[in-house]
Amino acid sequence: AAGVIQSPRHLIKEKRETATLKCYPIPRHDTVYWYQQGPGQDPQFLISFYEKMQSDKGSIPDRFSAQQFSDYHSELNMSSLELGDSALYFCASSPRTGTYEQYFGPGTRLTVT
Amino acid sequence: AQKITQTQPGMFVQEKEAVTLDCTYDTSDPSYGLFWYKQPSSGEMIFLIYQGSYDQQNATEGRYSLNFQKARKSANLVISASQLGDSAMYFCAMREGDSFTGGGNKLTFGTGTQLKVEL
């Protein structure tokens, strides 16, 4: 079965640089979520999109922005990177109704040096 | 107050034994869902099982079952016949509300339980 695809899987950036993370949801899933998991932490919700519109917003820094495109893929743009942004970034997708099961991608491991 | 509480930072279980991972939750929303995810050391987040607040029966998926006690606000994960490959971090998570009540469907996670299966 098709799963959530994230790219890149690993990314190393320097402080103050920018990064773009991409997410391709499971086919026919119209909702995308982004989560950030710091070292030894539980995942924290950042932002979600339903039908290309932002549907919810969590603890996402103003330096980050995201969008969902017409093909339902989503991109998380991160600017002025800080050391504290080093984390595992997950994208998850789900159908809008039903059991709301969220399926996670493999994650992008971002290291800021 | 914590919305999801996992009180066991670490657990050990012998291979082939059953193990229960505890999860309690706090919400005033009548519509919610409870999830369990497995995160191996490789980092991916694997969906295991889901229980909706209106579901009458406890959820089961293969060797995983969810002991849902609504009045006590607990949703413990039971893994039967543990295998070495079950060694991982396990997260309990909750979705509050639904698309009809305006819920955003985001998940709130507990702090996780590190399970180690021993020979």
In tens digits, what is the pLDDT along chain B, a chain of 119 residues? 679 999 999 999 999 999 999 999 999 989 899 999 999 999 999 999 999 999 999 999 999 999 999 999 999 999 999 999 999 999 999 998 765 554 568 899 999 999 999 99
Decide: residue A49, CB within 10 A, 0-12 exposed, 13-18 middle, 19+ buried: buried
Using CA atoms, how far apart are residues A88 and B93, in angstroms rounded to an integer?
18
Q: Decide: helix, strand or coil at residue A83.
A: helix
CB atoms within 10 A of CB B60: 12
Is the CB of A56 less than 8 angstroms away from the CB of B47? Answer: no
Using CA atoms, how far apart are residues B21 and B75, in angstroms rounded to an integer?
9
* Tokens read off for B107: 């998940």
Q: State residue B104's pLDDT score.
A: 61
Question: Do residues A100 and A93 lie in contact, with contact meaning Cβ atoms separated by under 8 Å?
Answer: no
Distances from the Cα of A13 to the Cα of A28, A38, A41, A44, B57, angstroms: 33, 16, 21, 21, 48
Q: How far is A76 from chain B (nearest CA, A)?
A: 17
- A25 to chain B, any CB pair closer than 8 A? The answer is no
Q: Which residues of A touch B45 (CB under 8 A)?
A: 43, 90, 92, 104, 107
Decide: residue B99, CB within 10 A, 0-12 exposed, 13-18 middle, 19+ buried: middle
Which of A35, A44, A106 is opposite residue B44, by nearest beta carbon?
A: A106
Matching residue, tokens 């369990």:
B36
- B37 to chain A, any CB pair closer than 8 A? The answer is yes
